[in-house]
Structure 1
Amino acid sequence: MPKTCSEPRHRLHLHGPTMGTRWAVSADVGPHLDTAHLRQALADAVDEVDHQMSPWKPASDLNRLNAQPVGHWLALPAPILLVLARALEVARLSAGTFNPAVGALIDAWGFGAARRAPDPAAIRAAAGEPAALAHVALELDAPGARARRLAPVRFDLCAIAKGYAVDRMIEVLAAHGVQHALASLDGELRALGPQANGEPWPIAIEAPVAGQRRTHGVIELEDLAIATSGNYRHFLDIGGQRLSHLIDPRAGAPVRHALASVTVLARTCMDADAWATALLVAGPAEGFELARRLRLDALFLLRHDKGWTEIGLGRFAPGSERDAPA
């Protein structure tokens, strides 16, 4: 039987704008919590991530790093150094299917801050830059709180920074004594404990249908994070051709395969966010093998003529290989 809290609790909902979307928190809290102070602390935490890691803000620490001459050290705050370090590790473990050193390609294809549509000249220029995996294009000096680029590439942290922002919200909630909460930002979520009634937090997994909001299934979270990466929600339509916002760094172009979405469970939302991207970019066969080898909890939805097929690993395994209707 689920355990319940002895102190009376009520459901608190907080939200606000950040990173071109909105953050949100649902929490079961006691009567003495300073709600206004908590909301401000949450907003400050996500805004700090945005100010450090946004490719859209000219003065962000990420853009300062991209503007720093190759080989020159740049002092950086601890949060972005932490995210860069994890991004480099996922890049190494994924053999480059997750590669934050593709900022120029993202902009060239119209998904970054520079332009809203593909630019053939920019694509050729970006493809002509020296190919470099992130973990060999950047050197980090954690004790010295600094970093330096080792190749003329531009870094982009959009596939991991939102997940990290969710982790920061969880840290803020815990610091304020909250024990039962769900934090989200865009499609990334993380649960802090169960609900106050002892039940896990139910999370809907979206069906990969463009232009619609449909539920594929539901999973329950308790002290876990979840993130989904898909090619059906954010894309450009160029002359009737749909271009995914996810760039395959190996091809220098948007991903093109039957994998519609990947959902990953992890202890941190930063990891769930990064690995969902890495597995989707890798594609059905390579992504599944990568997830299997690293023992990731991952759900793959593969598109076909009659709908999509579900293949799951780890916590998703019991529902694997079931066909869903279109």
Structure 2
Amino acid sequence: MKTCSEPASALRRYSLNGATMGGRYSAVFYAPDGIDAPAIGASLFAAVDRVDRQMSTWNPASDLCRLNAAPEHAWLAVPAELAEVLDTGVRIGLQSMGAFDIGVGALVARWGFGPAQQRDTLPASPHCPAGASLDIDRAGGRVRKRAPVALDLSGIAKGYGVDRLADCLDGWGVTRYLVGIDGEMRARGCKSNGEAWAVALEKPVYGVREVAGVIELQDAAIATSGDYPRWVDIAGTRYAHTMHPTLQQPVSNRLAAVTVLASTCMLADAWATALLVLGERDGLALARERGMNALFVLRDGDRLQEILVLGGALSEPN
């Protein structure tokens, strides 16, 4: 069992949670007795609510929806956080050979995973990658579309929200915490008894919540992308919610799930999606090439096969 610094028995355990982004956020942390827990709870909610209000595709008033509705070639002022996530999404898209693409909004809607939740049977229009469709001026706080692209940040926004939870607790001087939104988690330090944080890995089984194993997390973030949490059934065939940008359809390969460890949850979230799209061959090759830490779970008939890639460094290679 991993341990970190000396135990701090004088610290009290706090647990706060709430609804956000169609799921729930949570924060478990150790701090001195008497800390203003209600104020921390309010600031945690404000942190994730700000991300949701900026990046939701389900809220027509969100900054992302405003950008999607904006005319082409017109600069639109956007919050700094949204510009950061867009910029990171485009960069990871390039680094993943287009496997991660925040420009899949039209595909998501067409396959029934968008706000309408109804599959569009119309023929698909040509897919326009976000990297070729956006100008992002982070210094000026503005974004311009060069082509008719529909942006969707579901593969990166929750991870970014987890990072904002972490920043919130950092701002309160908390140095021992585990924060998360659904299955995306980030840890700092350890528990008050010196043990590392334990995070359960879900078994990738359709319609069943079952623990496959536990990983000890310390000063790192973790995210999982899989074919099992959300899908649609069309004529007896199950289609996962993750889109393959090039094929313009849901991902269909032997990978059941990919879990990634990184320095931030935004990176872990996006790269888990990218590796799932790339599949067992190209995904494994890219993870090894980039020195990533990832767990691939493959479906082999009724069996599950695990392949672990350990690159050592948690920070993203340039």
Query: Which bin holds the TM-score, normalised by the shorter protein?
Result: over 0.9
Contact 1:7/1:30 (CA < 8 Å) preserved in 2? no
Q: Find the counterpart in structure 1 of residue 316 from structure 2.
A: none
Q: Which amino acid aligns with 2:283?
A: G
Cα distance change of structure 1 residues 7 and 248 upon mapping to structure 2, 3 Å threshold:
same
Q: Which amino acid aligns with 2:125?
A: G
Q: Find the counterpart in structure 2 of residue 305 from structure 1.
A: 301
Whether 1:154 and 2:154 are equivalent positions in the alignment is no
> What is the distance in 2 between the residues matched to 1:136 and 1:209?
36
Q: Find the counterpart in structure 1 of residue 47 from structure 2.
A: 45
Contact 1:2/1:197 (CA < 8 Å) preserved in 2? no
2:280 is aligned, of 281, 284, 292, to 284
Q: Per the alignment, in what secondary structure is the counterpart of residue 128 of structure 1?
A: coil
Whether 1:266 and 2:262 are equivalent positions in the alignment is yes
> What is the distance in 2 between the residues matched to 1:256 and 1:79?
32
Q: More helix by proportion, 1 or 2?
A: 1
Q: Find the counterpart in structure 2 of residue 322 from structure 1.
A: none
Shift of 1:4: 3.0
> What is the distance in 2 between the residues matched to 1:299 and 1:315?
11
Shift of 1:73: 0.3
> What is the distance in 2 between the residues matched to 1:46 and 1:83?
14
Q: Deviations over 1:243-299 (max 9, x none)?
A: 100110111101111110000000000000000000001111111111111111111
Stretches of structure 2 that go unaligned for 5 or more consecutive residues are: 313-318
Stretches of structure 1 that go unaligned for 5 or more consecutive residues are: 317-326
Shift of 1:147: 0.5
| Identical-residue share of aligned pairs (%) | 45
Contact 1:12/1:27 (CA < 8 Å) preserved in 2? yes
TM-score by length of 2: 0.94
Q: Per the alignment, in what secondary structure is the counterpart of residue 49 of structure 1?
A: helix
Whether 1:176 and 2:176 are equivalent positions in the alignment is no
Q: Deviations over 1:58-78 (max 9, x none)?
A: 010001111111111000111
Q: Find the counterpart in structure 2 of residue 208 from structure 1.
A: 204
TM-score by length of 1: 0.92
> What is the distance in 2 between the residues matched to 1:240 and 1:29?
51
Q: Deviations over 1:81-126 (max 9, x none)?
A: 111111011001001100000101100100011x2232211xx1xx
What RMSD in Å do the two structures reach over aligned CA positions?
Answer: 1.4
